[in-house]
Structure 1
Amino acid sequence: MTPQKTDRVVHLDALGPRGPYRTLAPEPVPDVCGTEVARLSLVPPVYVTRAIAALRRAQPLSAADLDAQLAAAAEAFASGSVDGLEVEAYERLVSRTSGTPLRVVRTATRDTARFVASARASAHQGRPRGAASGLRDDALRSGHAVWARRGEVFAVNASGNHPGVHRLWLEALALGYRVAVRPSRREPFTPHRLVGALRRAGVGEDRVMLLPTDHRAADTLVHGADRAVVYGGDDVVARYAHDPRVLPQGPGRSKILVTADTDWRAHLDTIVGSVADEGGTACVNATAVLVEGDPAPLAEALAQRLGALPSLPPQDERAVLPVSPLERARALSAHLTQWAAGSRAWLGGNGIVHDLGDGSAVLRPAVHQADRADAVQLRTELPFPCVWVAPWSRADGIGPLRDSLVLSALTRDEVLLDTLLAEPTIANLYVGDHPTHWMAPGVPHDSYLSDFLMRSKAVVGAR
């Protein structure tokens, strides 16, 4: 059975080794107003175990066929009807359930398709220059390195904060892994459509699967795979920190640094976009801006720009801010108030909830000024445009800039840039006028995924 509209409710079946699988009592998927819009079939641990076994028995995709299959899947994902759901209906469902503005979802659709089409080339960007891609390379006769998988089955325990999280695992498929994706129950439509598009393009049912589960079965999935990526908060990172088979993807805590040799006014559009583009929900959105000098003028300008953004339902063409169920919005507002104690509120000091009157609420932006670069507030990351602005000085060093998925450095200080590049806990360094949310196929997100999935082994005498 495939997704069909029944009384305006979409059925999302599990996509297992023998095709779609619908349970007797699917899980309701509500939109941000609390209205049921879909039913998601959750599979039990025994189903997951059998699915992993099927993935393990399957052979990797043929490299000769892969580019054509990925190109066809990209086209289907971006513009086709996948399992009975047109792209426009898919995008509206994502917007309704996740609260992500429709224009953000549409952009994500195009960008995800671009990543699908280039997945094999992107994956091989991480191959060491000294390693051959396989046993049929002539260099192996005299001894060489070969790039080889560390396992066969890759599991994804996905989040639902942004459709773009599903771009990463495509590289695992391109490297020969068989992949099982556990979708977020908040937004299962993107992975369901992506797996469906891949299968439609010819990728076998025993090579890529969608396995919706509860938390107990999710553990079965993660521990049954050879390699896994798991999304979540600091608790998830701590839980898997010592498991070499698991790659935790936690808060990004992306930042912007503005040094005294740079006029931030010339880069205000980039700073605002870093905070608020993508709805402010992505791990690459900036959550802190550190300023060498007085941070107040920048904080004031940020508050003025962000405060002018409209409060609209997510499906409105003009919407730019995220929306959530009303009770969740109130809880997030209370959490922000608690953490902001001791800071100066330029925006959002009276709360961030704009009640839309239908059971949902817009999450309004917040701008707070901390009094020091190492203030605890700067580690607080929330799922809407929320930014902490703080002073920074050379005496503070790079300590406050550590633990950043992205650091955009607005500076001309080359010695400082060398130091930032050498810092292991800064995953990505953008120099100059580049927003923290910039991404492109072939450019690592948090190192190359292949660093985690592959290794180089010596081979001699092949061919």
Structure 2
Amino acid sequence: MTAGALPLDVLGPSGVYRARNRQTVTDVAGRTTAELGVAPKLFVSRAMRALRAAVPLPVDARVAAIARAGELFATAELGGLTPEAYEHAVSRVAGLPVTVVRAATRTLAHRTAHLHRGLQFARPTGAVTDWRDPLTRTGRAVWARRGEVLAVHAAGNHPGTHSLWPEALALGYRVAVRPSRREPLTPHRLVLALRAAGFGDDHVMLLPTEHEPAEAMLRAADLAYGSDEIIREHAEDRRVLSLTPGRSKVLLTGDVDWRRHLDTLVDSIAHHGGTGCVNATAVFVEGDTAPVAEALAERLASLPSLPPEDDKARLPVQSARSARALESYVLGRAAGARAWLGGGGIADDLGDGSAVLRPAVFELDRPDAPEAGTEVPFPCVWVAPWNRAAGVAPLRDTLVMSAFTDDEELIDALCDEPTVSNLYVGDHPTHWTDTGMPHDGYLADFLMRSKTVLRG
């Protein structure tokens, strides 16, 4: 164990497991922050069997425990870390501005407090939650689990990704989480909070592991979801829900004055430090693209380059080596575009082995330019022309579309387009969300099904 490193142990069916195999978790400057225990294959197999054998808590107890866990996550010392120490550590490890991490903590506490209410938005109106409901005497759909055990292969780009999977616990699943090595602190803290709030060790586990045991973990579960390599390898499996890139977009049609909405455009691009799947990566303009690109570049250029733990930081930070590699990739993609910002590079060295990822704005010359689909973890936006003849084709494959338009036929087309997951019409940033609103559909759509029950 490295001196001063935070131990992030496996959280298995019998509590904390101190694995021999440990992996170093470093901050953006390469300094060791934590050591992550790695569970062996046999341990993972036994853990998955324990999850399957466990009996779910009653629904009221599950809901209360999740709400309590959110409160503990935001306020208690867990695993030797106060909330402030946890947020500082995540900021340094993930390179996220500390204000973004704090906001994610508040969001998780809010979502867990209102989780049961939010789940009711996902339940079909005609379905009841229990076969004992009097309505089943004459026949009624019952909302039922598709399985018993869920494997979560977690993303590490933002702490907020972990505010979704507790829904599975609320629905009665037992859950195994394989944390991302990029940022394992958040799932470790959340599993500790859920256990402290009343879930048994055999109900929710943290199982950091290598590729082969992770495959076994997925096969032993009834369902799995996430965004890491293992999930992508099984994307065609109906038991697996693969989370895809956001590629969120903004559309500005000629019937609106985009200057009145510049604050919202900038916010859509740079909120969360530009690291989220809900951040806008492309802005399509009906008309002259240059004034829009110029205005965005002017506003984004004013964001400061600071270490992520600074309260005034607004931009993400990576190791200097990673930042230079990302810079090379982005500039290669932008080779044929007009650079309004970032054309000379986006990596701003902080002098400690880390570098700020500074914003970039590139202007494209056609609506179907493939560069508009480039998504990177910092405020980078591609401004492209759009016209009615192009239609919705360039706007497809979008997590969130913010459409600034008064054209109802266009709104109809965007609402009907299957590859546009969420549509915001008017002055709403792409990162907007609220309790009960689907992210990329409801997670419960994947976890649950309706079955007819008729009893005497």
TM-score relative to the length of structure 1: 0.96
In structure 2, what is the Cα distance between the partners aligned to 1:346 and 1:304?
9
Q: Is the 8 A contact 1:405 1:428 kept in 2?
A: yes
Q: Is the 8 A contact 1:232 1:250 kept in 2?
A: no
In structure 1, what is the Cα distance between the partners aligned to 2:228 and 2:431?
19
In structure 2, what is the Cα distance between the partners aligned to 1:69 and 1:442?
19
In structure 2, what is the Cα distance between the partners aligned to 1:179 and 1:346?
46
Question: Percent identical across equivalent pairs?
Answer: 58
TM superposition shift of 1:343? 0.6
Q: Deviations over 1:171-217 (max 9, x none)?
A: 11111111111111111111111110010001111111111112222
- What amino acid is the match of 1:302? L
Q: Deviations over 1:333-379 (max 9, x none)?
A: 00011111111000000110100010000000110001011101011
Q: How does 1:124-143 map to 2 (within 5 A)?
A: 124-143=120-139
Matched, 1:41 2:41: no
- What amino acid is the match of 1:156? V
TM superposition shift of 1:236? 5.8
What does residue 424 of structure 1 align with? 418
Matched, 1:273 2:256: no
> How many aligned residue pairs are there?
456
Q: Is the 8 A contact 1:276 1:385 kept in 2?
A: yes
What does residue 251 of structure 1 align with? 245
Unpaired runs of at least 5, structure 1: none
SS in 2 for 1:395: coil
- What amino acid is the match of 2:444? S
In structure 1, what is the Cα distance between the partners aligned to 2:77 and 2:268?
33
TM superposition shift of 1:62? 1.1
Q: Is the 8 A contact 1:236 1:250 kept in 2?
A: no
**Which moves more between the two structures, 18-27 or 348-357?**
18-27
In structure 2, what is the Cα distance between the partners aligned to 1:240 and 1:370?
35
TM superposition shift of 1:123? 2.1
Matched, 1:388 2:419: no
What does residue 188 of structure 1 align with? 184
What does residue 302 of structure 2 align with? 308
What does residue 370 of structure 1 align with? 364
- What amino acid is the match of 1:397? G
What does residue 89 of structure 1 align with? 85
The two structures, once aligned, show a CA RMSD in angstroms of 1.4
What does residue 279 of structure 2 align with? 285
TM superposition shift of 1:387? 0.5
Choose the corresponding residue for 1:178, options 174, 178, 182. 174
Q: Deviations over 1:290-342 (max 9, x none)?
A: 01111110100000011110000001110000000010000000001111111
SS in 2 for 1:125: helix
In structure 2, what is the Cα distance between the partners aligned to 1:159 and 1:448?
18
Q: Deviations over 1:15-47 (max 9, x none)?
A: 110001111242111000000010100112221
Matched, 1:333 2:327: yes
Q: Is the 8 A contact 1:258 1:409 kept in 2?
A: yes
- What amino acid is the match of 1:345? A
In structure 2, what is the Cα distance between the partners aligned to 1:218 and 1:88?
32
What does residue 209 of structure 2 align with? 213
Unpaired runs of at least 5, structure 2: none
In structure 1, what is the Cα distance between the partners aligned to 2:144 and 2:321?
49
Q: Is the 8 A contact 1:11 1:39 kept in 2?
A: yes
Q: Is the 8 A contact 2:74 2:83 kept in 1?
A: yes
TM-score relative to the length of structure 2: 0.98
- What amino acid is the match of 1:372? R
In structure 2, what is the Cα distance between the partners aligned to 1:43 and 1:448?
31
Q: Is the 8 A contact 1:9 1:39 kept in 2?
A: yes
Q: Deviations over 1:45-65 (max 9, x none)?
A: 221111111110011221121
In structure 1, what is the Cα distance between the partners aligned to 2:438 and 2:153?
20
In structure 1, what is the Cα distance between the partners aligned to 2:189 and 2:151?
17
In structure 1, what is the Cα distance between the partners aligned to 2:299 and 2:60?
50
Matched, 1:458 2:452: yes
- What amino acid is the match of 2:366? R
- What amino acid is the match of 1:381? E
Q: Is the 8 A contact 1:120 1:175 kept in 2?
A: no
SS in 2 for 1:394: coil
